[in-house]
Structure 1
Amino acid sequence: MKRFVAFLLACALCLMVLAGCGGAPVGSAPLSQPGAAADPGAAPAAGAAITLTFGHGQSEAHSFHQAALYFKQLIEERSGGAIAVNVQPNGALGDEKEMAEGLQMGTVDMVVCAVATLTGFDPALDVFNLPYLFESREQGIAVLDGEIGQGMFENLEGQGLKLLGFFDLGFRSMTNSQHPIAAPEDCKGLRMRTLQSNVLVEGLNTFGIDAVSMSFGELFTALQTGAVDGQENPISVIDASRFYEVQKYLSLTEHMYVVLPLLISTKTWEKLSADQQQMLLECAQETVQHQREENLANYEAELADLKANGMEVNEVDKAAFQAAIQPLYDTYAGQFGATVEKIRAVKG
C-alpha cells in the first residue's frame, strides 16, 4: 500500500513539472496572433513575450520587406528576444486598406502603406496625392520629417494609428503596353490603374488618362489580361513586381513623390511599457533611415534591370505635365491651397 501511494505521488509530481514546462509565463500573451503564410525568414523568436505582426503589400524582393526584416532583427536583439516580429509580405494580411483597418482594431500591429490608403481616415492627407507637388526627393523628406508632415499625421492617433516615420520610394512613373509617353497628349485614351485617391484619379484624368482605382494585389493580372493598359509606381515596385513581363514602356514622368507612413496600432502601442515604447521608436527610426539609404542606392540597378528585361525607358517633358496639371490645383485651392504653399516653401 505504501508503495502504491508513493507511485501516485510520483506521477502527480511529474504531471506538475510537465505542466509548468509547457505553460507560458504570466503576462506573456502576444499582442497579436501571427497571420497565415508567414515568410520563412521572418518566423517570430521562440519564447517571446510579445509578438508584433508587421504587414506590407510588396514582395520579398522589395525594400519594404528587407526593411521589415531589419526592424525585426533590431528589436529582437535589443529586447533580448522578449519582443518578436512576424513579417507578412505580399498583402498576406489583406490589401493596404484592410491592413490599416486592422491597425484600428488591433488585429495588425504594424503596417507601411501609401498615404492614399489613409485619406478615408483624414481627407486632408489627400493633398500629398497632388501630382508634381514636390520638386525633389529631398524636399519630400524634409516636409514629412518636419513640422508639416508630423503635424498632419498626428490626427490619425485618435483613430487608432500612430506614426513611426516615413519610408522612401522616390517618385512614381508611368508604364504601359501601348506606346511611350513623352508629353501629356500621349496619355490620351490610356486606361491606367492608380491608387485609391480621388485627387490622383482626377490628376491623371487631367492628362487624358482613363484612371481607375484598384488594389495592388489585382494589378499584375489586370495588366496581363489587358483590363488596363498601364499603371504608375516607383521604379523599385515596377522591378520587384516584374511588371516588365506585362508592360513594354516605362516613361519617367516622376509625377508624384510617394508618401509612405510606417504605422503602429495605438492599441498595440498602449500595451507596451514606456521602455518598450522607446526601444520600438528608436528601432523604427533606424529602420526608416536604413530603408531610405537602401532605396536610393538601388535605384540605378533597378532601372538597369528593367531595361535588361526589355522595357523601353524614356524621359518626358515635365514642364508640359506641370502646366497641364495646374487646373487641378485651381480646383483644390480652397481645400489644399494653404498647405500647398507651406509645402512649397520648404527647401530640400
Structure 2
Amino acid sequence: MITNTQPLKALLIAAASAAALSFSQVSLAEWKLTFAHAHPVEDSQHLAAERFAERVAERTSGEVTVRIFPSGQLGDDPGMIAGVRGGTIDIELSGNPYFSGLVGELNVLDLPFLFEDADQAYRVLDGSVGQDLLGRMADKGIKGLAFWEIGFRNLTNSRRPVEDAADIKGLKLRTTPNPAHIAAFKALGANPTPMPFAELFTSLETRTVDGQENPVTLIRSAKLHEVQEHLSLTAHAYTAAPLIMNKARFDSLPAEFQQVLEQEALAAARYQRELNNSRMADDLAFLKAQGVKVVEQPDRASMRAIAEQPVRANFIDKHGRELLDAVERAK
C-alpha cells in the first residue's frame, strides 16, 4: 500500500517552525534585562551603564538587551538591592556601603584611609580579593559581576571650611548606612546621619544636614554645589560600587551570554574609572567657578590619627584579621 506522506511532513514542519518561533520569542523576552541605579544621567555611572548595554547587545547580536533606569526611578539604593534579590530588577549598581548589611566582610573596603590612591583600590577590586568578596553575595541571591566605583570621598558642608580634624567636630553629616563611615565620623566628633542618596539634595537644601561626603565628580553631577558652600579634599575613604545581578536570572542565561555579561561589566568598570579620572580637574574647576570654596590640602593626617585605628579595630573584632591582611597584601 502506498501512503502519501507529503501532507504529514508539511504539518510536522509547520509545527516545528511554530514551536521554534514560540521558543525564540520567549527566550528573547526572558533576556530583556532591567538595570537600575540612583545617580543622574550626567554621572559616569550612567555613561558606563550605557556603554555596558551597548556592548552586551552588540556581542549577543541583540539577544540580550539592557534597559537602564537611572536617578532612582526604581527606588532608593536599599530598595533596588531588595528588587534584585526578589527578582523584580535584573541588574543594579549601588555603593558598597549599602551591601555591608548583607555581607559584613564587604565593609573592609570602606575602612577610612585604606587606600592611598586609585591604583591600589583597582588592584584589590579586580584581583582575587575582589572576586572573593563578590562571591560572598551568592547565598543572598546575588551574582556579583564587577566592582565599579563611587570614588574617593571628600567632605562638603554649608557652615565652615574644613582644614583639619577639629573643623569636622559638631557637623551634622549625611553618610551612607555603612558601619565604617558612621564610626569614623563619630570618632571625629561629627553627627553622622545615614540616608539614601535620593534624599540628599533636599536634605542639604533644607539644612536638615550640614554636609555630606562624596567624590568631586558626583558633587558636580548631582549639583550639590547649589546647596553647599565649602569643599575639602579629604579623600578620607574610597567607595567601590558592586554591579550586581539576580543570581537565578544570571544562571538562566546560556554560558556564552554569562561570560559576555561578566566581561563587559569589568570593561565598563574600567571605562567608568577612566571617565572619573579624566573629569576630575574640570569638575573641580567648575565647582570653584560656581563659588564653592575649596580646601585643596587639608590636614588629612590629623583625621587619620583619630579615625583609622578605632574603625579597623572594630572591623577586626567582628571579622578577624585575615581579610584585611589580604587587602593589604593585594595593594
Q: Is 2:316 the partner of 1:333? A: yes
Distance 1:152 1:278 in 2: 19
Match of 2:148 among 159, 162, 167: 167
Distance 1:331 1:107 in 2: 35
Q: Is 2:282 the partner of 1:298? A: no
Give, in angstroms, the shift of residue 167 of structure 1.
1.2
**Correspondence list, 1:159-308, <5 A:** 159-308=140-289
Aligned-pair Cα RMSD in Å: 1.7
CA shift in 2, pair 1:179/1:217, >3 Å? same
Structure-2 residue corresponding to 1:156: 137
SS of 1:292's equivalent in the other structure is: helix
Match of 1:70 among 51, 54, 67: 51
Give, in angstroms, the shift of residue 49 of structure 1.
6.1
Distance 2:242 2:282 in 1: 25
Q: Which runs of 5+ in 1 are unaligned?
A: 1-19, 31-46
Q: Which residue identity is paired with 1:112?
A: L
Deviates more, 1:290-299 or 1:280-289: 280-289
CA contact (8 A) 1:91 1:217 kept: yes
Instruction: Tell me the TM-score normalized by structure 2.
Output: 0.89
Instruction: Tell me the TM-score normalized by structure 1.
Output: 0.85
SS of 1:180's equivalent in the other structure is: coil
SS of 2:287's equivalent in the other structure is: helix
Distance 1:129 1:305 in 2: 28
CA contact (8 A) 1:192 1:209 kept: yes
**Correspondence list, 1:79-90, <5 A:** 79-90=60-71
Distance 2:256 2:313 in 1: 48
Give, in angstroms, the shift of residue 312 of structure 1.
0.7
4+ residue runs of structure 1 moved beyond 4 angstroms? none
CA shift digits 1:90-135 (9 cap, x unpaired): 0111111111111111111111111111112111212222211112
Q: Which residue identity is paired with 1:322?
A: R
**Correspondence list, 1:79-158, <5 A:** 79-158=60-139
Q: Which residue identity is paired with 1:342?
A: A
Give, in angstroms, the shift of residue 52 of structure 1.
0.7
CA shift in 2, pair 1:222/1:26, >3 Å? same
Distance 1:62 1:29 in 2: 34
Q: Which has the higher contact order (CA 8 A, sep 6+)?
A: 2
SS of 2:244's equivalent in the other structure is: strand
Give, in angstroms, the shift of residue 78 of structure 1.
2.0
Q: Which residue identity is paired with 1:141?
A: Y
CA shift in 2, pair 1:82/1:327, >3 Å? closer
Give, in angstroms, the shift of residue 316 of structure 1.
0.8
Distance 2:261 2:181 in 1: 33
Count of aligned positions: 309
Give, in angstroms, the shift of residue 153 of structure 1.
2.1
Distance 2:230 2:191 in 1: 17
Give, in angstroms, the shift of residue 25 of structure 1.
3.5
CA shift digits 1:213-233 (9 cap, x unpaired): 001111100000000000001
Q: Which residue identity is paired with 2:326?
A: K
CA contact (8 A) 1:223 1:246 kept: yes
